[in-house]
Amino acid sequence: MKKDLLKLIDLTEGDILHILDTADRLKAEQKAGQRHNFPAGKTLAMIFSKNSTRTRVSFETGIFQLGGQGIFLSNADSQLGRGEPIQDTARVLSRYCDCIMIRTYEQDEVEQLAKHASIPVINGLTDFEHPCQVLADLMTVREHKKKLRGLKVCYIGDGNNMANSIIAGALLCGMDVSVATPDDYRPHQTILDFAARQTGVTFELTNKPAQAAKGADVIFTDVWASMGMEGEAEARMKAFQGYQVNDDIMAQANPGCMIQHCLPAHRGEEITEKVFEAHADEIFDEAENRLHVQKAIMYLLMGGQ
């Protein structure tokens, strides 16, 4: 039976740790100059309805390093841009390729693609979740802190796909989570319902960033207006005043608190230049780990153990 990676709330702690352990191994092999020998000859179709630097380069480089090849498909390069139903694209690509990665807007589009594809489908980003990014975040936190369970994660900013995925991934891994968003920009209700069902961990949602940051081991933030929301930028700039990660916020956190940012970062908006640069090594470790985590996901979905 084929497996997909559509959203983190579908996974267990064991699933996540298996991906992270595999990513650690593939990263170590890569750093040691060892060649991976799986999945040699496999082809990854990469559908991009939303542009990206890190997602495209890391997936395309990753499948190449695994011995396969990637095919880039924007809306202009496929029949999706001319209105072909997603189920027909799923069935065609399933005849040619071995795995599909899609980066788009609606979560339902990814779910429908997976429903009709006979090959694995990876969610490269939707407006609901960004699972590959948060798996790379968890890998980076574990590298720096040597554990996940028992740490406190704080997210400050828009209750968007990043917030949804951080809540899901961190709670599943036994981490306490606090989130600070303006009242009109809360995480998705499905995620809040998921958080309410978790046991043995704490979850806090507040509109007070300093309160959320208190005792944090890791602080996450993201841009105030994500791709596709440019028309709301002015309103969001007003709504998110006070939600900047700065020295005052960092003073509330535990000593040695990490910063994670999925990039691109807007210095002077959601994070100050000083805080960003003080934690740049952690942030760019996080960016690099997109490569290793996505290689692990492709490896496991295409039959690796």
Q: How many CB atoms lie within 10 A of CB 265?
A: 18
The DSSP code sequence of 62-102 is HHHHTT-EEEEEEGGGSGGGGT--HHHHHHHHHHH-SEEEE
Catalytic residue (one of 56, 217, 222, 292): 222
Q: Reply yes or no on whether 133 is catalytic.
A: yes
DSSP state of 245: B
DSSP state of 254: P
Catalytic residue (one of 130, 236, 279, 292): 130
E strands, 117-263, in order:
121-125, 152-156, 176-180, 203-206, 218-221, 258-261
Catalytic residue (one of 262, 279, 292, 294): 262
CA-to-CA separations, 247 to 70, 210, 262, 273, 274, in angstroms, rounded? 42, 11, 20, 11, 8
Which of 176, 174, 163, 171 is closest to 129 using CA atoms?
163
Q: Reply yes or no on whether 222 is catalytic.
A: yes
Catalytic residue (one of 36, 56, 103, 142): 103
Catalytic residue (one of 257, 290, 292, 294): 290
Q: Reply yes or no on whether 97 is catalytic.
A: no
Q: Reply yes or no on whether 132 is catalytic.
A: no
Which of 52, 198, 187 is closest to 128 using CA atoms?
187
Q: Reply yes or no on whether 103 is catalytic.
A: yes
Catalytic residue (one of 4, 54, 99, 133): 133
Q: Reply yes or no on whether 262 is catalytic.
A: yes
Active site residues: 103, 130, 133, 222, 262, 290
